[in-house]
Structures are given as C-alpha cells and as structure tokens.
Amino acid sequence: MIEEATEQSVRETYLNKEQGILSWLLTTDHKRIGILYTISITFFFFLGGFFALLMRLELIDPRNWLVSAETYNKLFTMHGIIMVWFFLIPSIPNTLGNFVLPMALGAKDLAFPKLNLASWYVFMLGAAVTIFALFRGGVDTGWTFYTPFSTTYSTTYVTAATVGVFINGFSSIMTGLNFIATVHRMRAPGLTWYKLPIFVWSHYATSIIFVLATPVLATTLLMVAVERIFQVGIFDPRLGGDPVLFQHMFWFYSHPAVYIMVLPAMAVVSEIIPAFSRKPLFGYKAVAYSSIAIATIGFLVWGHHMFVAGISAYSAMSFSILSYFVAVPSAIKVFNWTATVYRGAVSWDTPMLYAIGFVGLFTIGGMTGLFLAALGLDVHLTDTYFVIAHFHYIMVGGTVMAYLGGVHYWWPKISGKLYPEGLARLSAVTIFLGFNLTFFPQFVLGYLGMPRRYAAYPEEFQFLNILSTAGASILGVGYVMPLFYLLWSWKYGKEAGPNPWRATGLEWQTSSPPPKHNFEETPIITTSLPYPYEEMKEELGLVQTR
C-alpha cells in the first residue's frame, strides 16, 4: 500500500523533475517559463490595477480631493504603460501561449528554448527600468508619449520609461520569432496546417505582428529619447520637427498592438467554446483566416486615432473605410463562435462562463468601435470617455476575460489540480457584473463630452463617475478571488487527471502536470480534422445522445 502511494507521488513531472530556485531561473522548459511570465504579469496586473483604483477613487469627486492633478497624470500614465506593455501584450502569448503552444503542436518545447528564457530576462530588465522610472517620481506623458509634450515639456522620467518600453519590445520580438519558427518546424507528424487548433493560428498571426510592428515602436521611442536628450528636431516644431509625425509612427505600432492583445484572446476562446460545447468549431477555416486578415488589415488602420489631429479629409476617409474592413473578420469570428454553441452539449463550467462573457463584451467593444470609425461621430467621441470605455471593453472585457478563462481552462494541465468550481463561477460572475458597472457608464460620459485624462471635471459628470467607481470596486474583488483559490488549489485541489474536460487538443493527451518533455512519446496525428470529436469519441468516452 505505502509503496504504491509513493510510486504514484513520484511520477516525474515538469514541476518536480528539477528542484530549487535555480532550476526555475535557469530553466529552458517552455512550461516553467510560462509560469515565470505568469508570476511577473500577475504582479504587474495588480500594480496597474492599484493605480486604476486610485484614479477611480479620485474621480468620485469632481475636485482634486485625493491626489493632485500632477499625481493623477502620473497614475494614468503608469496604469497605461504597465497594463499595455507589462500585462496585456505578454498576457496570453507569453503565459498560456508559452505553456500550451508546443504541446498543442505535439512538440517537446519551443524551437529556441534559450531564446525563450532570454525573452523573460529581457522582459524583466525592461520592467526593472520602468519600475525605476516609477520610483524616481513617475512619468506624466500618458502611455502614448505624445510629442512635443514628451520630448520638450515634461519634466518627469520620460527617457527612463521609453527605455523600459524599448527593452520590453525585444522580448516581444523574441517570442514572436520563436512561435513562428515553432509552428513551422515543430509540428508533430501528421499535424498539417488545417488540423491546427485556432489557438495556434491566432498565435501565429499575433507573432507576425510582434515581429513586424514592434521594431517601429522601438525606433519611435528611440527618436523621442534622442530629441529629448540631444534636442534634435524630429517632432518638436520649434526644432523643425512635426508633432503629427510622431502620432503616425506611434499608432503604426500601437494599433496593431491592439490585435496583439486581442488575437490571443480569440485564440483562447476558440479553444474553450468547442471544448465546452463538445463539438468542432463552426467555420474553422473562416475563423483561422480571419485571424490572418485581422493581423494584415490591422496594419492599415492606424490613422483612425488621428481623425481630428489635422490629417487630410481624404486620408481620414481611407483610414475610416479600412477600419470597417478590419471589423468584418471580427464579426465573422463572433458569428462562428455563436454557431458552435448551437446544438452542442453545453456546460456552464467557469472557462465557458468567461468565454461567453468574452463574446458579449467583445461584441460591445467591437460595435462601439464602429461608432468611432464613423468620421462624423469620431469628431465628437474621440478623446472622451467613450474611447476609454470602448478599449476597456476590448482589452479588459475581451483580453482579460479570455486570459482568466484560459487560466481556468488549462489550470488542471498546469497544476494537475482542479480549482474549486463554485468559487470560480462566483468570481467570473462578479467580474462580469463589476466590469459592466465600471465601464458602461463611461460610454454615456463620453457622449456627454467628458474628456479623458481629466483629474477634475464639471459637476454634471459626477453621478456616472460614482457608478463607475462602484463598479471598479466590485471588479477589484472579482480579480482578487482567483488569486487565492487558484493558489489554494495548487496545494489542496483535487487531482485533475489528464483530460478533465474531455477536450481534443494534443495537450490533453499527456498527463497533468505534463512530464518535462511534454509527451512520453511523440504523438502521431491520425485524425483528419481539427477538433475531431467524432473521430475521438470512444477515446474520450463520449456518446451522441441527441
């Protein structure tokens, strides 16, 4: 008896094969690096969230009652910088992508395991420089670093912050290169492109953006630093530069960056919905190609951030029509996800709650994007809270919901344990409600005309701001809950077994937690379709009852 138990508990996994802090810091295992990233970005999520909380508290009252205007400006700047570059961009690709992508391909690891580890160190170095800027007094330019304010007028630690983000960019590029090489070279025998899960397709599209867009950000930030330090005229008209040029360059990266944030979210949701409907994704090829279409057209819409910045009417019209083009593949995805649920064998498990929440909130975020792409409406709505609400519906309602859904979905694989289902559902519902209460009133505020980045505001905006702050406190509680119950379950949770959801992905065909090299033997793919429920039903123990 005793012998048996010991034998079971010493099954070698990636978690216990090597031990000690160094075995983590020097690991080249994609799963462990995924966990290193998860720990880092969780820290940044709560740090950025703390800044958001202070902002929401400040905005309870129309006057500056809690912090000064200067401090408020630093709060929204640091909130933006940390959330965009140190949470959202790495959130899904570097954590779940890192952990799952090689397994979804039947591979032992990513193509370049050491590059993968290097990307984490580069990420942490960028983070350290940014945190340094924060502790020296912060930055007050907004995450967008608009010139000439950032290059000539701001007296805060702009250079340090741009250097931090500049370094961070290299980790994105490394991850992108690694994913592209891995998808091309490391697929298991028989795993052809049209059998790849959408998770892989979407990460592949994301990686293309990582590699093509990030260098533009790096150059732009470098130019900001150069103009700031050496007074070379690039963006400041007093030195002979053009401030609008900065906006073109910045948004050439930062709009595709939105798709860096949302494509991986779509990747996760495209796994969860089939898994909890127990049927193949509807319109697989349409969904796969819509990821590629989003990545491609996404490069051509940057000017829609600049409709009132003094660009010509005809370039504004071009960017407007291209922005509507990019909405089409997003709409295709929403319809296909919805059709997947139809006639499924659906459950309300936590990951599915998050995925359905994602579809709803992403739809609202996407549709309000249609308002902003309409030139005549954008004139009124841009730079107001309508925009704030819109992109939080995409990035928080979309990406964060999908991230949490993905964490719950793959948690049994990552930890080998089941999380407590009741608590998890409660937190998913709390987050959904809190989110809507926080951000829906901001649409109304935006149409009323409340400009963004205001530390104080006219009294007529107060009621909606109070609603928003109330929602934010609910949202905060919702976000803290998973932190505790997931950690608790890591130690005390029930054993999950290899495939608790009876899903079809290759990652579910190995034990939980997986061995160091993922599979005892390289899987050979004999099924003919992606999400092959029909072909695998005996293996999964499923029956067609209807």
| Residue 237 amino acid letter | P
For every residue of 293-345, which 3-state class applies, written as one string?
HHHHHHHHCHHHHCCCCCCCHHHHHHHHHHHHHHHHHHHHHHHHHHHHHCCCC
In angstroms, give the least distance from the CB of 352 to other proteins.
Answer: 8
- Near other proteins by CB under 8 A, which window of 382-390, 427-435, 507-515, 518-526? 382-390
Closer residue to other proteins in complex, CB, 73/206: 73
DSSP codes joined into one string, 172-216: HHHHHHHHHHHHHH-PPTT--GGGS-HHHHHHHHHHHHHHHHHHH
Using the contact rule CB under 8 A, the part of the chain among 27-35, 120-128, 238-246, 431-439 near other proteins is 238-246
Nearer to other proteins, 164 or 241 (CB): 241
Backbone angles phi, psi at 495, to 5 degrees: -60, 135
Q: Are 197 and 102 spatial neighbours (Cβ–Cβ below 8 Å)? A: no
Which of the residues 15 through 74 are near other proteins (CB under 8 A)?
69-70, 73
What residues numbered 263-282 form the site for other proteins, per CB under 8 A?
Answer: 277-280, 282
The residue from 44, 87, 123, 146 that contacts other proteins (CB under 8 A) is: 146
CB under 8 A: which stretch of 17-25, 420-428, 512-520, 530-538 binds other proteins? 530-538
Q: Distance (Å, rounded) from C-alpha 37 to C-alpha 488?
A: 20
Q: Which two tokens stand for residue 30?
A: 């994609």
For residues 316-355, which are near other proteins according to CB under 8 A?
Answer: 316-317, 320-321, 324-325, 327-328, 331-332, 334-336, 338-348, 352
Give whichever of 31 and 408 is closer to other proteins, judged by the CB atom.
408
Positive or negative CA dihedral for 401, 406, 408, 411? negative
Least distance in angstroms from the C-beta of 53 to other proteins = 19
Of 39-47, 145-153, 207-215, 391-399, the segment contacting other proteins by CB under 8 A is: 145-153
Q: Which of residues 441-480 bind other proteins (CB under 8 A)?
A: 444, 447-449, 451-461, 463-464
Q: How far is the CB of 101 from other proteins (least distance, A)?
A: 25
Minimum Å distance from CB 451 to other proteins? 4
What number of other Cβ atoms are within 10 A of residue 299's Cβ? 19
Per CB under 8 A, contacts with other proteins among 122-141 are 140
How many residues bind other proteins (CB under 8 A)? The answer is: 106
User: Could you say which residues in the range 148-207 bind other proteins, by CB under 8 A?
Assistant: 148-149, 152-154
Interaction with other proteins in 354-373: which residues (CB under 8 A)?
Answer: 356, 359-360, 363-364, 367-368, 370-371, 373
x/- map, 300-319, other proteins, by CB under 8 A: -------xxxxxxxxxxx--
Residue 336 vs 518, nearer CB to other proteins = 336
- Binding range to other proteins, per CB under 8 A, among 116-124, 166-174, 208-216, 532-540: 532-540
Instruction: Pick one of 17, 380, 425, 517: the residue that binds other proteins (CB under 8 A).
Output: 380
Q: How far apart are CA 427 and CA 340, in angstroms?
A: 25
Q: Is 98 left (phi over 0), alpha (psi -120 to 50) or beta?
A: alpha
Question: For residues 377 and 423, which CB has a smaller minimum distance to other proteins in the complex?
Answer: 377
Tokens 């509507």 appear where? Answer: 324
Structure tokens given for 105 = 């391909």
Q: Among residues 263, 268, 413, 423, which one has the least CA distance to residue 350?
A: 423
Is residue 418 within the footprint of other proteins (CB under 8 A)? no
Cβ closest to other proteins, residue 28 vs residue 64? 64
Q: Which amino acid would we find at residue 26?
A: L
Nearer to other proteins, 12 or 421 (CB): 421
How is 149-164 classified by DSSP, letter by letter? IIIII--SSHHHHHHH
Least distance (Å) between residue 460 CB and other proteins: 4
Alpha-carbon distances of 211 from 169, 246, 249, rounded to whole Å: 10, 20, 16
Nearest distance, CB of residue 232 and other proteins, angstroms: 16
Q: Which helix (H) or strand (E) holds 504?
A: none
What token pair was written down for 57?
Answer: 């508290």
Contact window for other proteins (CB under 8 A) among 116-124, 147-155, 415-423, 483-491? 147-155
If the CB atoms of residues 28 and 462 are measured against other proteins, the closer one turns out to be 462
In whole angstroms, the minimum distance from the beta carbon of 124 to other proteins comes to 29
Side-chain-side CA neighbours of 474 within 13 Å: the count stands at: 19
Q: Yes or no: say if 255 and 312 are a contact pair by the CB < 8 Å rule.
A: no
Could you give the C-alpha distances from 305 to 82, 397, 483, in angstroms and in order?
21, 21, 35
